[in-house]
Amino acid sequence: MKESAITLVTVIACLFTILVLATTAFSEQKMAVIVVDVQGDFTTAKKGSLAVEGTDDSFIAKVKNATEALKNKGYLIFATQDWHPKDHVSFFTNHEGKKPFEAIKIGERTQVLWPPHCIQGTENAKLLLSDDLFAAVVKKGQDKKFDSYSGFRDDGGADTEMDKILKENGVKELLIYGIATDYCVKATAIDAANAGYKVTVIEDLCKGVAPESTAKALEEMKAKGITIKKEL
């Protein structure tokens, strides 16, 4: 009788400890998701002006399902949205005699010139995932003078509200995926890692502009301590 009472107390104490540990572990993790630039103009699904290979309906559906599953797990979901004015510096059409995908020097910076894309208010600038998935959508690239691959800051050094929003929500860890692996996903993930977040990029939920730069981007991210996971 006495012995079984002690066993019972021990079992209850153990269960309580496990519960406390699990709760602390969960609350300390504070995981959130950043879905990068899943917008019409970057997809073949919407015949976008800067469509990235492999961004067909089935890829978009996969990203949507994964994001809904993560939201159902209780993670906060954020999005970035490329949101350029018509006269944006990154459009080849705003540089006389230049062709799309050419790179130019602007002072010390290298600027790749893109087809006009994600122009504020246009149909293909819209996010392809439903707005109500997101706790916040961070717009970027709104200053005509600077490009902004990163969701954290533009090439002129101006911060977006991303870091502030993540900190307000106590976020410590980030899952990042979207378009394009070799540009906006890479820049966002590296800035997140530099800002002290524990970052994981989900490779199969990303698509890159070019195979070579995509492979290089994955290596660069790994070198920054970012975990590259094939799938969720």
Q: Which residue bears the tokens 């290089």?
A: 216
Nearest to 230 by CA among 201, 206, 203: 203
Question: Minimum Å distance from CB 14 to ligand VGL?
Answer: 49
Of 167, 166, 145, 164, nearest to 156 by C-alpha is 145
184 among known catalytic residues: yes
Binding of ligand VGL by 114 (CB under 6 A) = yes
Tell me if 178 sits within 8 A of 22, measured CB to CB. no
User: Using alpha carbons only, what angle is made at residue 170 by residues 174 and 127, rounded to the nearest 5 degrees?
Assistant: 50
- Under the binding rule (CB under 6 A), the answer on residue 180 touching ligand VGL is yes
Nearer to Zn ion, 126 or 172 (CB): 126
Alpha carbon of 196 to those of 11, 192, 200: distances in Å? 39, 7, 13
| Joined tokens for residue 3 | 């012995």
Looking at the Cβ atoms of 32 and 179, the one nearer to ligand VGL is: 179
Is 206 labeled as catalytic in the residue annotation?
Answer: no
**Cα separation of 194 and 223, whole Å?**
12
Residue 37 binding partner per list ligand VGL, Zn ion, none, with a CB distance cut-off of 5 to 8 Å that depends on partner kind: ligand VGL
User: Among 82, 154, 163, 191, which residue sits at the site for ligand VGL (rule: CB under 6 A)?
Assistant: 82
CB within 8 A of 107, min separation 6: which ones?
none
**Interacting span for ligand VGL (CB under 6 A) from 178-186, 189-197, 213-221, 224-232:** 178-186
Binding site partner of 180, from ligand VGL, Zn ion, none, Cβ cut-off 5-8 A by kind: ligand VGL
Amino acid at 78: F
Number of C-beta neighbours around residue 136 at 10 A: 14
Q: Which residues pair with 136 in a beta bridge?
A: 78
Task: Report how far Cα 16 is from the mean position of its chain's Cα atoms.
Answer: 37
Give whichever of 28 and 144 is closer to ligand VGL, judged by the CB atom: 144
> CB of residue 18 vs ligand VGL: minimum separation in angstroms?
43
* 83, 187 contact by CB (below 8 A): no
Is residue 37 near ligand VGL by the rule CB under 6 A? yes
**Residue 155 binds ligand VGL, judged by CB under 6 A:** no
Q: Looking at 76-84, 95-103, 120-128, 170-178, which segment touches Zn ion (CB under 5 A)?
A: 76-84
Interacting residue with Zn ion among 82, 154, 155, 191 (CB under 5 A): 82
Which one of 91, 183, 214, 218 is in contact with ligand VGL (CB under 6 A)?
Answer: 183
Residues forming the site for ligand VGL (CB under 6 A): 37, 42, 82, 90, 114, 149, 179-180, 183-184
Among all residues, which ones are annotated catalytic? 37, 140, 184
Residues forming the site for Zn ion (CB under 5 A): 82
